[in-house]
Amino acid sequence: MANPAIELPRRPTNLHQTARFLKSAVMDLIIVVVAYIVVLSVRITPTIDEYGRTIVFALYAGFVLIVAMRVFGVYRRIWTRTSGHDMTVLVKAVGAASLVLLGINLALPRQPVPMTVILVGNSIALGGFVAVRYRSRLLKSLHWRYRAVIHREFPDALTHTRTLIVGAGESGQALALRLRHRVPGGEMYRLIGFIDDDANKHGMILEGLPILGGRDAIPRIVERYGIELIVFAIHNIDGPSFRNIIEQCEHTKARIKLVPDVLELVNMTNKKGAALLRDVQPEDLIGRTVAARNENVDLSPIIGKIVLVTGAAGSVGSEITRQLIQYKPTRLVLFDNNESALHDLHTELTAKAPSLTITPVLGDITIREHLSAVFQNHHPEVIFHAAAYKHVPMLEHYPGEALRVNVGGTRNVVELAVKNDVERFVLISTDKAVNPSNVMGASKRLCELVMHAYASRATKTLFAAVRFGNVLGSRGSVVPTFNRQIDNGGPVTITHPDMTRYFMSITEAANLVIHAACLTDGDAIFVLNMGEVVRIQDLAERMIRLRGLRPFLDIKIQYTGIRPGEKLHEVLWDESESPRATVHPHILEIRGWDDDFDASQFLHNLDIVLKTRINGERPFADDVEAMAELNRLMQVQVYSSQDTHEKHETDNLRVQPSALLKRTERT
């Protein structure tokens, strides 16, 4: 029966629906009468009078059963797409009607029919109800089996992808029903059987398919039956178990896909159709989980505020805006210089939160007038600063742009935040800011220092910089590159076989950034718990195997050499910085600002560079000169006194730009 907490909408009454109900009711009434007569005939040799009483009672019984099924919603169900839950509802309706009929039969002075006729008759009638409602599926199944066995004519579905389903629960059963038919825009499948870890199910039949064994049997079953595709239809599985099954599948040549869970399907409804199956994503392999709200963190500082997000149309910025919606900001200001992406994001967010005031602003953080207008018109109370250039190889060739956009743009946003008494300012930083060996990392470290310089003089604004590693799903991630290279048949290019990186899903990163914004007490650098370090080659090999291909054989892996400014291994904090735990288990706070840091001198030096070399009359002669200036800013502020001699020596070097960023180890 329908959940009493959920009020089902009333369907409009029309002739078609009435005719459909009457047709089903008449069919059910005939089934009940026939069932009662059959039971009476088998039980005794009835007289004409007994036949008459039984038929009359059967008509009454049919009426009671029809009313019961109407009340339980049996006639409102689409039985060509039914499940085990629908069958349960039908059984409940027949059971309730049986109790009513037994009561009526007992209440009458002379029982019209024996009690066993009612019980057995209703049971047979239930079988008839099921047969009628499942007739199209039963006939279709019998038809193609007849053609296959007698005439050796196989439907197209039997000549397509040989598929094994992992999970013999409700999701697996529903998937089997869907895969028997052509999926719009997809493949056609020949279902071989199920895999399930429940030993009690082994050898059983579900939807006409055998349950062949547990996870350990996957390689053997794939080899024996020539499986081409393995589909996961399990949603209540923990991460380690999921990855263990993935490892079993990786030892085969079958491709692997997943059934999106309910939340994924809901989130996909705004796209062009929801795919029945999806590829295994790196998030699945690495085991990053989506972090939810943490009850230990007071999130009131961002609830109901006017929030400005710079770089809102970027990978991280857009995800931050999506998650900010749940905190019901008074106004959400989206600032970006990408007109097309900004329009798309505004359209998406407006559809998700039509009651929320969302304002897109097309502008450039390096143009102070653009930002000043935002502060004057919208008066932001919380700022998430995500606007930046982020591609390491690209910025190696444009160090002047890194200074202009990343450092100069951050200077503009921070200065206006302090001037307008913004409550909180959050800088999106990176693990590449630690001991930077490339232009992007150095520019981000300078952004942290800009924030620190203004935090030392601000009285009302609280500051936080948040460092994290590579974001899965972002435009700067290696994953899209690997996917494209695999689609093209290889080779997959890796800079070095020992290269490692930290990875985090974009959803988790945005969630933790929002939490970190509420943890700062004035001037803090937070580091997100990135989990275990991942070897890039291992990630590439697994992505290849998940396509049913073999690394180095079907898809070549090519080593291209470490690019300028690239590190073999990233770190999340400097040796001089000391991380400490916060109330959030996935967020650490870094302590280690230099007590001798001269904020005024730093900002003075930065102003000279920005005004005279970036926006002034003396532009850099070449990239090496721009890099030398970037290096000078870094060394003066970050190096200890014994390193200043090295600074003067490097000022005159004419080498590759990234070489100027190498730092000595601190003692």
Q: Are strands 161-166 and 205-206 parallel, antiparallel or unpaired?
A: unpaired
CA 241 to chain centroid, in Å, comes to: 19
Helices and strands (H and E) in the chain: how many: 23, 22
Q: Rounded CA gap, 133 and 229, in Å?
A: 32
Q: Which residues are within 8 A (CB) of 376 and not within 5 positions of it... i.e. 6 or more apart?
A: none
Strand partners, 209: 206
Residues 277 and 467: beta-carbon distance below 8 Å: no
CA 271 to chain centroid, in Å, comes to: 14
Residues 454 and 411: beta-carbon distance below 8 Å: no
Q: Both ends of the chain: CA-CA distance in Å?
A: 72
Per-residue b/e over 148-169, b at no fewer than 16 CB within 10 Å? eeeeeeeeebeeebbbbbbbbb
Q: Which residues are within 8 A (CB) of 138 and not within 5 positions of it... i.e. 6 or more apart?
A: 131
Q: Are strands 492-494 and 523-528 parallel, antiparallel or unpaired?
A: unpaired
* Residue in the structure block whose two tokens are 């490692």: 500
CA proximity to 64, closest of 33, 106, 22, 94: 94
CA 342 to chain centroid, in Å, comes to: 22
Per-residue b/e over 569-594, b at no fewer than 16 CB within 10 Å? ebebbbeebebeebebebbbbbeebe
Residue 564 CB-density burial (10 A; 0-12 exposed, 13-18 middle, 19+ buried): middle
Q: Give me 400's structure tokens.
A: 């002047």
Residue 432 designated active-site: yes
Using left for φ > 0, alpha for ψ between -120 and 50, and beta otherwise, residue 533 falls in beta
Q: Which residues are within 8 A (CB) of 107 and not within 5 positions of it... i.e. 6 or more apart?
A: none
Q: Is 211 helix (H, G, I), strand (E, B) or coil?
A: strand
AA identity, residue 383: I
Question: Which of 257, 305, 390, 432 is an active site residue?
Answer: 432
Each as own residue / partner, the long-range contacts of residues 577-581 (CB below 8 Å, 24 or more positions apart, any chain) are 577/434, 577/525, 579/527
Strand partners, 500: 535
Q: What are phi and psi of 471, to 5 degrees?
A: -105, 120
Q: What are phi and psi of 384, to 5 degrees?
A: -110, 110
Catalytic residues: 432
